[in-house]
Structure 1
Amino acid sequence: MSAIVGRLHLSEAPVDPRIIAASLDALADYGPAGATHWTEGPVGLGYRHLETTPESRHEAQPLAQDGLVIVSDAIIDNRDTLCDQLGIARCARSSTPDSRIVLAAFQRWGHECLSRLAGDFAFVIWDARTRTLFGARDHIGARPLYFCHSQGRFLFATDVRGLLAHRDLAFAIDEQRVASFLIWPLNPQETSFFANIHPVMPGHWFAVNRNGLEQRPYWRPREAPDIRYTRRQEYHEHFRELLDTAVAARLRTRFPVGAHISGGLDSTGVTILASRLLQAQGRTLDMSYTWAPPVSDRYPLSENSRDERRIIRGVCEREQIACHHAIATGADYCVFLARDMAVEGHCDLFEELPVMTAAARRGTRILLSGWGGDEVSTFGTRGYPAYLLKRGHWLRLVAMARKRAGGLRHLRRLARFLWLEAWLPLMPNAIYAHWSPYVRTDRLSLLARREFLERFNRVRYERGPAWREYADPRDVQIALLENGHLASRMSSWSSWSAPHGLIYRYPLTDRRLLDFTLGLPRELLWQKGVTRGVYRHALQDVLPPQLGKADPVNERKRLDQLVACRRLLALQARHGVFRRPCPWLDTHALNERLLERPHHSDGENPLSFVPLESALRVWHLWQRYGDSSGKMSKPG
C-alpha cells in the first residue's frame, strides 16, 4: 500500500519541508517507487507510492487543483460509476488515477462524496480557500490513518512511525492504555499506545482548522435500509451479484494475486470466485495460502471428512489452484512477542507472518482474505434465538433448539442452548457478566503490579461492544462492526505487510455488500436448519456440498507452537533476559511464570498463556520507551 503524511500549523507558521521528508523516510517500506512532498505556508503533505491498479501508474501526488491539494492511499472500486457521474470521458479513464477521482468527487459533493465512494481508502485534502484540512477513512478501516492534534499542530500519517518522525514533538506512552491491555488483552482495539496519537475511526471524516477539530461518522450501519423481496431466490441472486462485483473489483492489478484458504465458507468462496474470474480474463490465481499444517506423522489426516486439509485439497484439485502451507514456529511466536506493538498494534495473529514472506517471494501484490465475513456478510445466528424468544416465536425457537441440541432426548444440551442463547442475552449487563460464556481475562492470574492497575481501576469496566450477546441479530452485527477488532487487525497487517509490498483486500467487507446484508430479514439467518443460507444458496455452484471445517489438527499445531515458545522463553529467563524491572509489571512473578516447565502440548492450556503473553509484550514496550529512571523516553 502507499503511504500519506502531513502537517498543519494552526498558527499559520510555515512548515519546514524537511519535517515532511523525514516523515516519509520513516515510511520507506510503504513505497519503493519513491516519495514526493509539497509545502505551502502552514501546511505540508507527502506521498509515498506503491503501484497496485493499472491506473495507479499515473499517480502524481500530492495532487493540486483549483486551490485543493490531495494525498490519497486509495483503491476505488466503483470507478466507472463515479466517472459517469463526474463526466470523465471513457477515453481518459485508464489514465485517471484514483486520487484524481476522489478530488473531483470532493469538488462536486464536498464531504457528501463519501457516501458515493466504494473501496478501501484514506485521504486528506487541503482547502486553501477555507484554510481547512479535510480527511476520511473507508467504512471498515482497511486503510489505516493516524493523527496527532497537539500544541497548535495537526499531524497525520498512514503509520504511527510517520508521526514519531516529527522530532520536535514528544510522544509518551499512555499508561491507561497499557493497563487496559493487561486486563483485556483479547479485546482488540486500534487505540494507540501513545497518549497523543489516535486513529481516524473507520467510516469517519475529520476537518481541522483554527476553529478546532471536528470528527463525524459518514457511514452508520444501523441506518442500513431494510431489504424485502417477494421471492427468497431474489436475495440469493442479489447477494451473488454484489459478491461477484466485490471480488472482481479487487483483482484489478497486473501483479500476481493470492488468497487465503482455510476450508471454511468465507475463504473457500472468495478463493474459488477469484480463481474463476481470473481464468475468465486469461489469468490464474497465483497461490492460495493456509495456516493448516501439511499432512505428516505429527499431523496425520483425520478420518473426519471435515478435516480442513481434506477440504482444501479437494477444492484446490477441483479448481486447479496451488496451495502453500505457511507454518509459523514456536521461534516465530517468541520473536513476535518482542515486536513493537506501540507502532504495529496488538493484533496477535502472528501466524500470518510466514504467509506474507511466502507471498512476497512470488511477487504477490494483492492478497485476498475472507476475513470479516462472519461479522455481517456470512453472519450466523448470534442473537437470533433471543430474538425469537423476545418476539414470542416459540415454535421456531423450539425447532431451532431441537436441531442444535441433536434432538429432544438431549435435555441437558437443550437446556444449555436455551439458557445461553435465548434467555441470557435478554439479561442486564450485571447478570450477563456473571454468567457470560466468554473468557473473562480480568479474572485470570494477571502479572501486572496491583498498585499500577489500581491507578486505572475504571478500565476494568471498559469492554468493547461485542463483549456480550444481544437479543437481536442486527444489534450483534452492529456491535461486531463497532468493536474495533476489524480495523485493529487490518492496521496491523498493513504495517506487517508493507516491507513485502503486499496489500490485503477483504471482499466480504465491501460496503455495498454490508449495506445489503444488514438489511436482510432476520428469518433468513436460519433456513430449514441451515445457517448462513443466503451465502450458501448464492454460491451453490461454487462451494463444495455440506462445506464446514473441523480443525483439531490446527489446534494441536498451535499448542505445539505455544510449548516451543514457552521453552525458548524459559531459556531466555534462565539467562536473565527479563530481569530488568518494569513499573507496570510484577517482574518477579513474570520470571517465575516463565521458568515453569511447559507441559506437553496435549496438556497445555492456551488460556494460561494469555496473561503471560500480554505481560511480555508490555515488558518489551517498556524496554523500548522507558528508561532506568522510570520516566518515558522519546521514541526512536
Structure 2
Amino acid sequence: MSAITGIFYRDGRSVDHKMIKKMNDKIAHRGPDGSHIWYEGQIGFGHQMLHTTPESLNEKLPFQDEDSGLVITADARIDNRKKLSELLEIKNSIRVPDSIFILKAYEKWGEYCTEKLLGDFAFAVWDSDKEKLFCARDHMGVKPFYYFLSDDSFFFASEIKALFCNSEVIKRINDLRVGFHLIPIYKHENLTFYEEIYRLPAAHSLKFQKQKINLRKYWELKHDAQIILGSDEEYIDAFRKIFAEAVECRLRSAFPVGFELSGGLDSSSVVCMAREILNDNNQLNTFSIIFEELSKMSETTYINHVAEMGGINTHFTKADNINPLKDIENIISIVDEPYITPNITLLWDLYIKIKKNRIRIVLGGEYGDITLSKGEKYFIELFSTFNWIKLIREIKGMSKRFNVRFYRLLLNQIIFPKIPKSLLKFIRQFKGYRQKPDLILLKNDFIQQINARKYLKNHFINEPDNFREFHYFLLTLSSHQSFFEVFDRFYAAFEIEHRYPFVDKNLIEFCYAIPDEQKFKLGWDRIIMRRAMQDILPKEVQWRHSKAEFSSFFESNLLRFEKDRLDKLIFNNEDDFLLDHYVDLKKVQNIYKNYQNGSSGNDPRDIWNVITLAKWLKYTKL
C-alpha cells in the first residue's frame, strides 16, 4: 500500500513539479517512508512509499531506466517473480524490486505485459521514445486507480482527493452514483461519487498515444472454463497446492505480519495455512473482534480452537459497546464516500491495536464465501434440470446435518425461490416486508432524473437462477473493486497494507472451474476447502456449519447509542437540506419509526445509507 500520482498534459503543456508535489502531499499518509517526483515536459509522476516487502526497502519510485528510457510509478506486489525472472532474464534478488519486474515486462511485451503479471498492482509507464503513456490495474481491482480525463489533461492518483489539487478538476456530485448508493445497486464499474472522476476498472489497461486513447480489458474469467480431475483426492490436492501458494506469496514482508481471525472457516483457514507454511518458532499474531454480551455473535470458542493449535498469539478487541456511529465523521473523511457497511466501525479499535504492534501487513479471509461458493441456486438448478433423485439426496443430507425438517428445506430452497418476483414482491408488501433493492428512499423527481427504474429492472434481470451461472455472477460483480477501494483508504490511515488470499487470480479460476459437487455437497458449502484443510484446521472449525453475523451489533447498538442523534437528523431538519434533492424524508421518517418500534420488514441499513450520505454531503461541502 503506497501511493501513485500523475499528470499528463495531452495538449503539450509542461508539467509544473509543484503540482505533482501537491498531489503527493495530499495523500502522504499512504507512504511515510519517502516522497519523490519525476517530471519531463508534458508528463510527471509522483510516489509515496510504504515499505512492505523486503524488496521494497531498496526501491525508489518513480524510476527511470537509463537503457530503455522508460519511467514507472507503481503501487504493486508481484507474486510470480520467480517465473518472470526466467522469462525476462533478470535476477530474482532482494535487490530487485517488484516495479522493475513490471518495467522489464512492459519493455518485452508492451501493453500485453499485464497478461504475464500475477499479484496486486496499479502502475503507470511512460515511454518517451514513442510518447506513449500506459496505465494498468490488477485483475480484481485490489489496488486503486482513479483518474480525470479531458481533451487537454489526464490526471491519476491512488485517492480521489489528490485529483482535486488540479484546478481543472471541479468537485461535482455524481447523482447517478448517489442513487445507486440509496437503492442500493452494486453494478457501477467505473463510476465514482464525483462527476468526471472515474476508476480504472479491474483487469483493464489504459493507453495514450498520439491523442488516441485505448481502454482494454486484458483478462476476464472464462465463462466456459472446466477442470475435470479423476477423483476427490486429486481435487483436494490441487486446491491445497493453489491455496497454499495464494497464502504464501502474501506472506512476503519485511515486517511482522498480522492476521484477522474471526473464527469463521475462511479466516481460520488462512491463519492455519500460514502456520503450516511458516512452520517455525515465530508466533503468528492474530487480531479478533469478540462479543461477550451479544452471545449469538460470539466467535471466541472457535478462535480459541485455532489458537490451541500452538504458535499463535491472539489479540482481542471487545465490541459489545462500540457505537456504530463512533468516529463516523473521521471515517467519512478517510474513505471519502458514503460507505454501505456499518461494520467498518468495529475495525477502528482493532486496527489501532494492530498498528501499535508495528504490523504493516494483514491477511484476512474476505471473499472466501464468493470464491469458494456457498451453494446459492444449487437446489434450484437440480430441480429445474429434473435431477430430482440427486436433489432429494442433497436435501436429506442437509436436513440430517443441520437438524432441519425436509419439507422446510424444500420450501425455503425450492418453492419460495421459484415464486415469480412480481408475486413475491406483492406477498412481501402485504406482510410488511419489501424486496431489496428498491426505490423507496428516493424522491420521485430524483427517480425520474436518473432513470432509476431502468437500472433497477436491469439489476433483477441480470441475476441468474443457475448454480454455476450465479457463481460466475458473484465472482464478476464490478462492486468488488468498490469494496477494495473503501477499505484500502481505511487501512491506509493506519499505514497498513491488507492482502486477500481468496482474491488470488489462480485460486478464483480453479474454484470456478471445478464441478458443482466439489463446491457444495449434502449441505456443506465450500466443501473443497473443508476437505483440503484436513489435519491443518481444527475439526471444530473445519466442519462448523454456521457463523455469527454482525448485523445484531448494528441493529441493537445504533438505537442504543444514537437515538437522540438520529432523531435530530431525521425529524429535526439537521442536515436535511443536503438530502432534500435525493431522499423522500417523510418515507425515511416512516422507516425509522418502524425500525424504532421493531416492526418486521424494515431494514435499518436504509437508515444507515441515509446517515452516511448526509455525513458525506456535509464533508464534501458542496
Task: Please confirm whether the aligned pair reaches a TM-score higher than 0.5, indicating the same fold.
Answer: yes
**1:132 matched residue in structure 2:** 132
**2:290 matched residue in structure 1:** 292
Which amino acid in the other structure matches residue 72 of structure 2?
A: I
TM-score, with structure 1 as normaliser: 0.87
Q: How does 1:222-233 map to 2 (within 5 A)?
A: 222-223=222-223, 225-233=225-233
**1:411 matched residue in structure 2:** 407
Corresponding residue to 1:75 among 71, 77, 81:
77
**2:619 matched residue in structure 1:** 624
Which amino acid in the other structure matches residue 409 of structure 2?
A: R
Query: Matches of 1:464 and 1:485 in 2, distance apart?
Result: 15
Q: Deviations over 1:617-636 (max 9, x none)?
A: 2222332345xxxxxx4xxx
Q: Secondary structure at the match of 1:518?
A: helix
Query: Matches of 2:337 and 2:584 in 1, distance apart?
Result: 24
CA displacement at 1:364 relative to structure 2: 0.9
CA displacement at 1:591 relative to structure 2: 8.9
Which amino acid in the other structure matches residue 251 of structure 1?
A: L
Query: Matches of 1:313 and 1:94 in 2, distance apart?
Result: 37
Change (3 A) 1:134 1:566: same
Judge which range, 435-444 or 178-187, deviates more.
Answer: 435-444
Query: Matches of 1:322 and 1:408 in 2, distance apart?
Result: 38
**2:204 matched residue in structure 1:** 204
2:306 is equivalent to residue 315 of structure 1: yes
The 8 Å contact of residues 27 and 159 in structure 1, kept in 2 or not, is answered as yes
**2:393 matched residue in structure 1:** 399
Q: Secondary structure at the match of 1:291?
A: strand
Q: Deviations over 1:201-220 (max 9, x none)?
A: 11111112343322121121
The 8 Å contact of residues 465 and 483 in structure 1, kept in 2 or not, is answered as no
Query: Matches of 1:353 and 1:439 in 2, distance apart?
Result: 32
2:524 is equivalent to residue 530 of structure 1: yes
**1:346 matched residue in structure 2:** 339
Query: Matches of 2:11 and 2:294 in 1, distance apart?
Result: 63
**2:27 matched residue in structure 1:** 27
Alpha-carbon RMSD across the aligned residues, in angstroms, is: 3.2
Structure 2 unmatched runs, 5+:
none
CA displacement at 1:222 relative to structure 2: 2.4
**1:484 matched residue in structure 2:** 478
The 8 Å contact of residues 137 and 203 in structure 2, kept in 1 or not, is answered as yes
**2:239 matched residue in structure 1:** 239
**1:629 matched residue in structure 2:** none
Q: How does 1:42-441 map to 2 (within 5 A)?
A: 42-65=42-65, 66-90=68-92, 93-184=93-184, 191-223=191-223, 225-280=225-280, 282-286=281-285, 288-293=286-291, 295=292, 298-300=293-295, 308-328=299-319, 329-336=321-328, 339-340=332-333, 343-344=336-337, 346-348=339-341, 349-350=343-344, 351-376=346-371, 378-405=372-399, 410-420=406-416, 423=418, 440-441=435-436
Q: Secondary structure at the match of 1:250?
A: helix
Change (3 A) 1:385 1:414: closer
Query: Matches of 1:442 and 1:165 in 2, distance apart?
Result: 36
Q: Secondary structure at the match of 2:312?
A: coil
Query: Matches of 1:134 and 1:551 in 2, distance apart?
Result: 44
Judge which range, 520-529 or 41-50, deviates more.
Answer: 520-529
The 8 Å contact of residues 340 and 608 in structure 2, kept in 1 or not, is answered as no
Change (3 A) 1:70 1:467: farther
The 8 Å contact of residues 204 and 216 in structure 2, kept in 1 or not, is answered as yes
**1:539 matched residue in structure 2:** 533
**1:501 matched residue in structure 2:** 495
Q: Secondary structure at the match of 2:271?
A: helix
Q: Deviations over 1:552-588 (max 9, x none)?
A: 6855433332223432524754887436554424586
Which amino acid in the other structure matches residue 283 of structure 1?
A: N
Change (3 A) 1:552 1:261: closer
Which amino acid in the other structure matches residue 289 of structure 1?
A: F
Query: Matches of 1:57 and 1:95 in 2, distance apart?
Result: 8
Query: Matches of 1:405 and 1:434 in 2, distance apart?
Result: 30
Q: Deviations over 1:497-547 (max 9, x none)?
A: 112110100111111111222221223223455332211111111122253
CA displacement at 1:321 relative to structure 2: 2.0
Q: Deviations over 1:41-73 (max 9, x none)?
A: 111111110100000011121111213111110
Aligned length: 608
Change (3 A) 1:230 1:86: same
Q: Deviations over 1:470-522 (max 9, x none)?
A: 24333222211222332112111110111211010011111111122222122
Q: Deviations over 1:95-126 (max 9, x none)?
A: 00000011001111122222221111111111
2:550 is equivalent to residue 558 of structure 1: no
Query: Matches of 1:122 and 1:582 in 2, distance apart?
Result: 35
Q: Secondary structure at the match of 1:455?
A: helix
Query: Matches of 1:625 and 1:285 in 2, distance apart?
Result: 41
CA displacement at 1:371 relative to structure 2: 0.5
The 8 Å contact of residues 340 and 609 in structure 2, kept in 1 or not, is answered as no
TM-score, with structure 2 as normaliser: 0.89
Query: Matches of 1:18 and 1:511 in 2, distance apart?
Result: 39
Q: Secondary structure at the match of 2:308?
A: helix
Which amino acid in the other structure matches residue 115 of structure 1?
A: E
Q: Secondary structure at the match of 1:374?
A: helix
Q: Secondary structure at the match of 1:326?
A: strand
Query: Matches of 2:586 and 2:201 in 1, distance apart?
Result: 37
The 8 Å contact of residues 333 and 561 in structure 1, kept in 2 or not, is answered as no
Q: Secondary structure at the match of 1:141?
A: coil
Query: Matches of 1:115 and 1:84 in 2, distance apart?
Result: 16
Query: Matches of 1:459 and 1:100 in 2, distance apart?
Result: 48
Q: Deviations over 1:435-478 (max 9, x none)?
A: 899973454752x4332233123355247868875243332222
CA displacement at 1:11 relative to structure 2: 1.1
The 8 Å contact of residues 77 and 249 in structure 1, kept in 2 or not, is answered as yes
**1:630 matched residue in structure 2:** none
